[in-house]
Homo-oligomer: A and B are copies of this chain.
Amino acid sequence: MNLIDFLKNIVPFTPEELADITAHFERENISKNNTLVREGQVCTKLYFVKKGVGRSYYLKEDGKEVTQWFFIEGKFMSSIESFFQQTPSLYYLEVLEESVLYSITRENLDLLFARYHNMEKLGRLLSTEMLTRVVNKLNAVQFQTARERYDYMLTEFPYISSRVPLGSIASYLGMTQETLSRIRRGDTSKKI
């Protein structure tokens, strides 16, 4: 997914706006398993994923990683709260595959927000879209069985299960790796 096409699909930017906006992004090629942000750091960039997969996660006291979100092609990726509030990140942000990202700094983004009414609109629309997604996940996690949550995930991130380790998916879904493994095996009716 191309950044320009992505932007055009959401808000009817003029060609001049598009040119100026994309000029503020920088292409970055990131190799597999690279960490972009660590816990405690302030996240300075917002990334558009042109190719690859990323995830945000945090460490529980016992040292276990808990996946917070996956970021696939054609989505923006960041430690959102840290980036927007400029506070230390609670999360790690990492790339799980060889990836191509387009990044923009907070200052440049603010500049574009201030410069273009359309840009502000883009921000609002993307933010409400993300809000909807998070609410969906919340409902899945809060009120569904482990198996139903797995089904939810397949709709939210269709192809991810073959691309990322099972443990990352399990913690994203709020279950253990063992449980997810048993679900995948497919013993539906029997007790898991």
Question: Which of B84, B85, B117, B135 is within 8 Å of A134, CB to CB?
Answer: B135
A64 to chain B, nearest CB (A): 10
Question: Which of B66, B124, B134, B174 is within 8 Å of A124, CB to CB?
Answer: B124
**Contacting residues of chain A (118-146) with chain B, CB-CB under 8 angstroms:** 120-121, 123-124, 127-128, 130-132, 134-135, 137-139, 141-143
**Contact call B131/A120, Cβ cutoff below 8 A:** no
Inside 8 A of A174's CB, which chain B residues have their CB? 142-143
Inside 8 A of A121's CB, which chain B residues have their CB? 113, 120
Q: Answer whether residue A191 sits at the interface, using C-beta atoms and an 8 A cutoff.
A: no
A21 to chain B, nearest CB (A): 15
**Contacting residues of chain A (2-48) with chain B, CB-CB under 8 angstroms:** none
A145 to chain B, nearest CB (A): 12
**Given A134-B134, A142-B141, A143-B66: A128 and B84 interface contact (C-beta under 8 Å):** yes
Q: Answer whether residue A80 sits at the interface, using C-beta atoms and an 8 A cutoff.
A: yes
A122 to chain B, nearest CB (A): 9
Question: Which of B81, B85, B124 is within 8 Å of A127, CB to CB?
Answer: B124
Inside 8 A of A134's CB, which chain B residues have their CB? 131, 134-135, 138
Extra contacts, 5 of them, besides A84-B132, A143-B174 (Cβ < 8 A), are A68-B139, A123-B124, A130-B131, A134-B138, A138-B138
| Interfacial residues, chain A to chain B (CB-CB below 8 A) | 60, 66, 68, 80-81, 84-85, 113, 117, 120-121, 123-124, 127-128, 130-132, 134-135, 137-139, 141-143, 174
